[in-house]
């Protein structure tokens, strides 16, 4: 049996221990078991989380994170991982059973078959699917065609955070997570080792008002990401989203990456069509379950 302990905040030592568990899980499964937001919440001083640690014979065997602030629908959201050396000993089931029962959503990254079996066994059903698509960018890309009066420049730290958050909120007011991004969230990501303002492209209209952006991310020397593409509703429908996407892809190719990935909601048919026409193909999917 696993010994479970809840924490409102992780110490630096606990965070390092959990980090090693997450790395072991990712190495085995080929996909990160938790999202970026969870790793940011593991930092000392971070709030809005509950951390559940499971130990077997004194060793950290499993970890679960609960976002108690919840998504825009008021759901508490959990993500968990079990160390490969401690799987099939009931650790995952013990973690899930210890999670809060009310308004709980649970992510399974990469659609892992063990997660699907566990979800079915414990009475969860699939309620959301986030597709991960990818594109090789070694070949030529179409040139971005900017709408009339639109100019693009890189993000300037300390200057552009508020404008980005405003446009992001307008573009993603429907999204459970992205729409709630704050200025503090942007600044926290500016401290991440991957952050590069040159890869954060901002689009302004003739009145010098921000109307869209493409935030890119480089994961490894060969893998980049279309991290976020946001277009103000007032500027949608004129090709700006496609132009920003292509501008960001060109930037990533200039960084010598070979492949670019992105996430898109499975039921966002217009976006899926745009990315498919650009040559993106399905890689895998993250699945969210609810009781």
Range scoring the smallest mean pLDDT among 28-37, 126-135, 174-183: 174-183
- pLDDT bin (cut points 50, 70, 90) of residue 197 is very high
Whether 96 has a binding-site annotation, put simply, is no
Tens-digit pLDDT profile for residues 262-284: 999 998 888 898 899 999 999 99
Whether 271 has a binding-site annotation, put simply, is yes
Cβ burial, residue 101 (10 Å; 0-12/13-18/19+): exposed
Whether 85 has a binding-site annotation, put simply, is no
Looking at residue 145, its pLDDT comes to 92
Whether 282 has a binding-site annotation, put simply, is no
Whether 212 has a binding-site annotation, put simply, is no
Domain ranges of the chain: 3-123, 134-285
Rounded Cα distance, 250 and 234, in Å = 25
The overall average pLDDT reported for the chain is 92
Which homologous superfamily does the CATH classification assign to the domain defined by 134-285?
Gcn5-related N-acetyltransferase (GNAT) (3.40.630.30)
Looking at residue 61, its pLDDT comes to 97
The pLDDT of residue 140 is above 80: no
Tens-digit pLDDT profile for residues 214-251: 999 999 999 999 999 999 999 998 899 999 999 999 99
Whether 273 has a binding-site annotation, put simply, is yes
CB atoms < 10 A from the CB of 187, how many?
12
The pLDDT of residue 49 is above 80: yes
Whether 145 has a binding-site annotation, put simply, is no
Asked whether this chain's domains 3-123 and 134-285 adopt the same fold, the reply is yes
Rounded Cα distance, 285 and 146, in Å = 31
Residue with tokens 């277009």: 231
The pLDDT of residue 26 is above 90: yes
Rounded Cα distance, 291 and 97, in Å = 12
Which homologous superfamily does the CATH classification assign to the domain defined by 3-123?
Gcn5-related N-acetyltransferase (GNAT) (3.40.630.30)
């Amino acid at each position: 049996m696993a010994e479970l302990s809840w924490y409102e905040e992780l110490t630096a030592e606990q965070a390092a221990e959990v980090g090693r568990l997450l790395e072991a899980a990712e190495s085995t499964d080929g996909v990160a078991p938790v999202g970026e937001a969870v790793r940011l919440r593991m930092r000392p001083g971070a709030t809005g989380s509950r951390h559940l640690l499971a130990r077997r014979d004194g060793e950290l065997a499993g970890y679960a994170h609960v976002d108690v602030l919840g998504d825009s629908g008021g759901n508490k959201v959990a993500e968990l991982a079990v160390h490969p050396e401690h799987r099939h000993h009931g650790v995952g089931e013990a973690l899930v059973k210890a999670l809060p029962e009310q308004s709980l959503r649970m992510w399974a990254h990469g659609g892992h078959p063990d997660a699907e079996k566990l979800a079915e066994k414990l009475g969860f059903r699939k309620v959301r699917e986030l597709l991960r698509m990818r594109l090789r960018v070694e070949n030529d890309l179409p040139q971005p065609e900017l709408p009339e009066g639109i100019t693009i420049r890189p993000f300037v730290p300390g200057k552009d955070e508020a404008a980005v958050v405003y446009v992001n909120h307008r573009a993603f007011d429907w999204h459970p997570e992205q729409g709630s991004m704050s200025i503090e969230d942007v600044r926290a990501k500016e401290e991440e080792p991957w952050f590069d303002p040159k890869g954060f492209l901002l689009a302004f209209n003739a009145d010098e008002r921000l109307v869209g952006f493409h935030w890119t991310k480089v994961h490894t020397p060969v893998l980049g990401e279309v991290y976020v593409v946001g277009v103000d509703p007032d500027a949608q429908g004129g090709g700006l989203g496609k132009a920003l996407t292509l501008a960001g892809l060109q930037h990533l190719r200039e960084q010598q990456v070979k492949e670019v990935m992105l996430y898109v909601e499975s039921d966002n048919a217009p976006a899926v069509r745009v990315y498919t026409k650009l040559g993106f193909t399905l890689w895998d999917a993250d699945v969210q379950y609810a009781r």
